[in-house]
Each structure stands twice: as structure tokens, then as C-alpha cells.
Structure 1
Amino acid sequence: METLQIEQIRFDLTWRIRHEVMYPDLPYEVIKLEDDPNGIHFGLFVDGLLTAVVSLFNEGKVYRFRKFATIVSAQGKGYGTFLLKHIISYVKLMGAEKLWCNSRLSAANFYSKFGFVQTDQRSVSKEIDFVIMELQLDN
């Protein structure tokens, strides 16, 4: 039976997985965010191995998560679901009214399962289609 554990981690510990999963063909610097030092970063460990990461930023009662990534060999095993549920619970405890992300269009159905709704705000970056998705929270 595997052990799953979520911990707050240093922002630089997210970079390897971000690069490997999100932009493996682009320079390493691309995955670093200017706001990284100001965020709250979570890592999901599977049997002690850092397997998934997400970075959380807030302005008042609105939280945004960015750079949500699970190593390729561990995708489809429920780790992303486990980590996203943790993030939703965390921001509720912090008194958040809304949680949002700029989702890859290819991942929109995943977020919809958790109550996130697509907005009409779409964009393209690095030849990838994105859509803003929001989750209204009741506290």
C-alpha cells in the first residue's frame, strides 16, 4: 500500500516537475514564475517521492493556482485529484470566496469534475490553448 503525503515545499522544488511535464522542449527558465517567492507551494509525495506539484497565490479572498503538474509516469492514478481536493480544502479554510486557474483547454474537463466553470476568457501561449476556469466557494 503506497503512502500519500502532501506538504508545503520550497518554490524551487516545483521547477523540475514543472519543466518535465509542462514544457520539456523549452528552456528551463520558462517554468519559473516571477511570483514564485510569494506563493504557497504544495508537493504530493508518493512513498517519499515528489510526484505532483502546484503553486497557489492569493489576492484577498481570491486564490489562483498555477503550474499544477504530475510526473508523466504517475498520471492517471488519482494523484492530481488528491492534490486538487487538498488545495480546495486549504483555500476554504483560508476563507476564500473563489479559486481559479488558467487551464490548458485539454485539462478543462478534469477541473469541471470539481465544479470549476469555464469562462469566456481564452488565450494561447506557447502554441497551447488556455481557458480561465473558476470555482465559487461557499464558506
Structure 2
Amino acid sequence: MIIRSITSDETLPLRQAVLWPQKSLAFCRVENDHIGKHFGVFSDTQNELISVASIYIEGKSARLRKFATATKYQGQGIGTKMIQFILQTLSDDKIDLFWCDARESAVGFYQRFGMKISGDKFFKHNVAYYKVEIKLNKQEKV
């Protein structure tokens, strides 16, 4: 498995297939896709794109959006490796806060990385979400 930077256009088919199969590719775009950092996980054997994630940085805060792993590859640790890669990359880049709007069904996944719920449940397109976040590069008191 290889994780590398990809373009926003490369993320679209997997975003659609996993997150919003009933919607158009255009629906799966994010307003600022052109300025986001996009990552893809590729299988070792077929160089197949099997997971995508997009990060949008504003100041010292980074937001994860449109994180998707192909259904047949879910439950194999691929998403875990992607989040670990992103957390390390953001920490190296001196980002202080990493957050996302997590589907209610995925909150436990994010909590495994130390992310905490911030705020109340809310809905987007009739799907329940929570904001989850983690502080990176914590300053130690002297």
C-alpha cells in the first residue's frame, strides 16, 4: 500500500461511490477543492486507488473532508493508516488542530486517534454528524 498526494479530480469517483452513490460527481466536490491537499491510498498489487482523503488548512487548523475507502477494502486498516499518515504530516507541518465532521456511525473510528466530540449532533442531507477534533503539537509548560 502506498499513500501519496493526488488531485482533487482523482478523489471524485471514490468519494461518490462510497459517500454519496445516489448523487452526481459535482455534488461530491468541495468548494475549495482547488486549494486542498488530497491524498490517496493505492493498492500494492494493482496500483488501484482504494482510499481518498482531503485536507483543507486555514491558519494552524486543518479540516478533513470527504474521507472514503472503497467498500471492499474497509475493515482492513487502510483508513487507520491514512489517518495516521495525515496526523503525522500535519504535525510535521506544525498544524495545531485537526478536525472533521464525522458521520455518527464513524465517531468511534476517530476516537481511536484521540479525537473528541466537540458540540452537539447535527444533520447534513439527513445524515447525523458530530464535529470531532484533536489538538496537535501540544505546547508543554516549562
Q: TM-score, normalised by structure 2?
A: 0.93
Name the residue aligned to 1:71. 70
1:6 and 1:75 mapped to 2: Cα distance? 16
Select 2:18's aligned residue among 18, 21, 42.
Answer: 21
User: RMSD of the alignment, in Å?
Assistant: 0.9
Q: State the Cα deviation string for residues 25-84 of structure 1 (Å, max 9, x = none).
A: 122221011100000000001121110000001111111110000000100000000000
Name the residue aligned to 1:58. 57
Name the residue aligned to 2:8. 11
Deviation at 1:122, TM superposition (A): 2.8
1:120 and 1:33 mapped to 2: Cα distance? 23
Deviation at 1:101, TM superposition (A): 0.3
Name the residue aligned to 1:41. 38
Instruction: Letter of the 1:37 partner, please give it.
Output: H
1:59 and 1:15 mapped to 2: Cα distance? 22
Q: Unpaired segments of 5 or more residues in structure 1?
A: none
Instruction: Letter of the 2:68 partner, please give it.
Output: A
Instruction: Letter of the 2:5 partner, please give it.
Output: Q
Aligned residue for 1:54, secondary structure, equals strand
Q: TM-score, normalised by structure 1?
A: 0.95
Name the residue aligned to 2:132. 133
Aligned residue for 2:30, secondary structure, equals coil
Aligned residue for 1:138, secondary structure, equals coil
Normalized per residue, the structure richer in strand is 1
Aligned residues of 2:94 and 2:137 also touching (Cα < 8 A) = no
Name the residue aligned to 1:80. 79
